[in-house]
Structure 1
Amino acid sequence: MSHRNARLTVFGRRLLVERVLSGRPVAHVAAEMGISRVTAHKWMRRWRAEGEAGLHDRSSRPRTTPHRTPADIEAKVCGLRQSRKLGPARIGPILGLPASTVHRILTRHRLHRLSWTDRPTGTVIRRYERQRPGELIHVDVKKLGRIPNGGGHKALGRQAGRATRSQMGFDYVHSAVNDHSRLAYSEIHPDERVATCAGFLTRAAAFFRSRGITRIERVLTDNAWAYRKGLACRAALAELGAAGKLTRPYRPQTNGKVERFNRTLLDEWAYLRPYTTNDERTAALSDFLHTYNHHRCHTALGGQPPVSRVNNTASQYT
């Protein structure tokens, strides 16, 4: 890459070639452009050998690295990292390597952060983020036990709460998260039947549309029967002009953005404090969603809340 004070950019190199091809001496053109004759001849030589491609910057990476750690040693470093979750300071003495070398090896293989690996297997998790708002929406349902009047076990204690919560049933929190911006929408329903899921999809799309995401291209869900076989859900997707996608069985990482939202939902809303009634917890959901979308910073968004990301990018794709 050219530095900010470079005499020649790609445009300048083209200009050099054009002036020399017009019949002028290379030395005269070099003097006019403030570069040496050696540099001018170098770019002319590259242009004659490679054409237009020769005028672009080449990688500064060396063709060979004689002192690079052997591949079998790198494999042992990666194996210890994935099987025992050891850091550079502990892997180094085992293999007789400096900790700095181990760290470079782990960085080269994208193993230097444990959060980037699947903890049980040590497999590197391939993370992704769609480029456009509305390109992909993650949808999932979280099942929560209803709270009896007077509070459940979090308010009364485990033993006292066990008797009061019997036969209370469950709330089903349906959530949709925009892949690009993390903008989220949730509703609480008494079930996860086909008609309920289809209606939720329609209302979620209306919510995203009101925030400037006018087109939804794909909707990613797990393999729940309502989304896999439900005709009403298929009709709702067809009405939105969106394709329905399913995750691989037993692979929640694929739908990871809404799975991470569910964890935030539990920590910052459902289990934030002891609620005395189920209606009290239900009423608190709207405040949580407003805080999540408008005020809560996200490290994946550079410290911005989801609405800021939507406002910065949605207008480019409407």
Structure 2
Amino acid sequence: MGNKQFSQAQKLTILKHAKQIGPKEAAKVAGVHYTTVYEWKRQLKELGEEAFLEHQPRRSGRGEKEITPEQESAILQVWNDNPAFGPGQVRSQLRRQGTTISIRTIRKVMEANGYTAKQKQNQVSAPERFEASRPLELAQMDILEVTINKVRVYLILLIDDFSRFILGFRLLEQTSVDEVIQLVRRAVDQYGKMEELLTDRGFVFYSWRGINRFEKYLENQGIDHTHARPHHPQTLGKVEALNKRIKNELFGQEHFSTLEQAFSALTKWVEHYNHKRPHQGLGGFLVPAERFHGQEQKALDDIANSRDVTAQIQDIERSIVNLVLAPDGSVTLYLLGQPVVIKGGSHV
């Protein structure tokens, strides 16, 4: 199936046949890929018949570029494995597998197979963005309310600000200070201690009368506790975005009869998010685990050299030691995210 050129009148004739025999069958008769017919169909709907016939396509001498069966199969496989992905995320995942396909080709294949782009909401003034400079410098925690089989439950998420890596989660019928403390304690035991924790002023995180047990725990651990400004959820933007994603992709798509079923599905979702899903906030090619575990540059080098990095990610080990150069020229040694102190109280 080589590159072909058609006049607008010929395209319209093919589209009229497609109404009778179907777009894919009409594409076979015309000798083009079925995505091309779907693209013409979209243009006809947008322009109307008269404007469609008068339309002069850009780069008319190039013809219709062929989409190979291998490309189509690769695109649909990634999309099938990750149904919440858009064309950009599919492209990133393919790049991680060592395959480069243009986003235009990916979008054409996806749209011809039922993909519909989400409508963008009207943008309000963007909040000021901030980001930690290394793993465990700052963590964010929030509580999301969801419904399972008509029962209200609560999802507590703890994420690393720098990498968006999910450090831990809880799915509970009731929130409590004890559960929040246990979540942080387990994350510290598994990954190391965060320097600062950002939360809202919910009752498990904050007391308007003195200091509650969670705040006391953080104080004893030497973890700075910062609160988002009241009625200003953008401060917790990263974890809020994660809340929305989980709600839309998991709890909004699947029905769970029990808390145990939901927890099992959530565990798989988090594993996929941390280790397999390229994150747009990390440049579109990295997964959170690569950035959190100090494998960012290696992964980017492998992707640039068309190596498949998707099979390596499960074997990532935590980068125990990091050297950080500050703007003032000083160098600090971090062990599991914590600055190493030598005699005299100064950092290495």
TM-score (norm 1): 0.51
CA contact (8 A) 1:217 1:242 kept: yes
* Aligned-residue offset at 1:310: 1.5
* Residues 1:123 and 1:304: Cα distance change in structure 2 (over 3 Å): same
SS at match of 1:181: coil
AA matched with 2:245: T
SS at match of 2:268: helix
Deviations 1:220-253, CA, capped at 9 Å, x for gaps: 0001122112522023212432011100001110
CA contact (8 A) 1:182 1:257 kept: yes
SS at match of 1:125: coil
Residue 90 of structure 1 is matched in structure 2 by none
* Residue of 258, 265, 277 corresponding to 2:246: 265
* Residues 1:174 and 1:239: Cα distance change in structure 2 (over 3 Å): same
CA contact (8 A) 1:134 1:178 kept: yes
* Residues 1:245 and 1:225: Cα distance change in structure 2 (over 3 Å): same
Q: Measure, in 1, the Cα distance between the counterparts of 2:259 and 2:292.
A: 33
Residue 180 of structure 1 is matched in structure 2 by 162
SS at match of 2:144: strand
Deviations 1:107-140, CA, capped at 9 Å, x for gaps: xxxxxxxxxxx957x4342111110111110000
Q: Report the RMSD for the aligned CA atoms in angstroms.
A: 2.0
CA contact (8 A) 2:164 2:288 kept: yes
Deviations 1:36-95, CA, capped at 9 Å, x for gaps: xxxxxxxxxxxxxxxxxxxxxxxxxxxxxxxxxxxxxxxxxxxxxxxxxxxxxxxxxxxx
* Residue of 184, 195, 201 corresponding to 1:201: 184
* Residues 1:221 and 1:119: Cα distance change in structure 2 (over 3 Å): farther
AA matched with 1:266: K
* Residues 1:240 and 1:269: Cα distance change in structure 2 (over 3 Å): farther
Q: How many matched pairs? A: 175
AA matched with 1:247: A
CA contact (8 A) 1:298 1:304 kept: yes
Q: How does 1:119-268 map to 2 (within 5 A)?
A: 122-147=124-149, 165=150, 168=151, 170-184=152-166, 185-207=168-190, 209=191, 214-229=192-207, 231-268=212-249
CA contact (8 A) 2:138 2:195 kept: yes
Q: How does 1:239-318 map to 2 (within 5 A)?
A: 239-302=220-283, 303-312=285-294, 314=319, 315-316=321-322, 317-318=334-335
Question: If each structure's helix is expressed as a fraction of its own residues, which one has the higher value?
Answer: 1
SS at match of 2:135: coil
Q: Measure, in 2, the Cα distance between the counterparts of 1:235 and 1:187.
A: 21
CA contact (8 A) 1:216 1:240 kept: no
AA matched with 1:174: I
Q: Measure, in 2, the Cα distance between the counterparts of 1:135 and 1:300.
A: 17
CA contact (8 A) 1:202 1:236 kept: no
* Residues 1:124 and 1:141: Cα distance change in structure 2 (over 3 Å): closer
AA matched with 1:298: H
CA contact (8 A) 2:140 2:197 kept: yes
CA contact (8 A) 2:148 2:257 kept: no
Deviations 1:255-297, CA, capped at 9 Å, x for gaps: 1110011011112322232334443222111111100100011
AA matched with 2:131: E
CA contact (8 A) 1:130 1:180 kept: yes
* Residues 1:190 and 1:277: Cα distance change in structure 2 (over 3 Å): closer
CA contact (8 A) 1:135 1:218 kept: yes
* Residues 1:275 and 1:189: Cα distance change in structure 2 (over 3 Å): closer
For structure 1, list consecutive stretches of 5 or more residues without a partner in the other structure: 1-117, 148-164
Residue 112 of structure 2 is matched in structure 1 by none
For structure 2, list consecutive stretches of 5 or more residues without a partner in the other structure: 1-120, 296-318, 323-333, 336-348
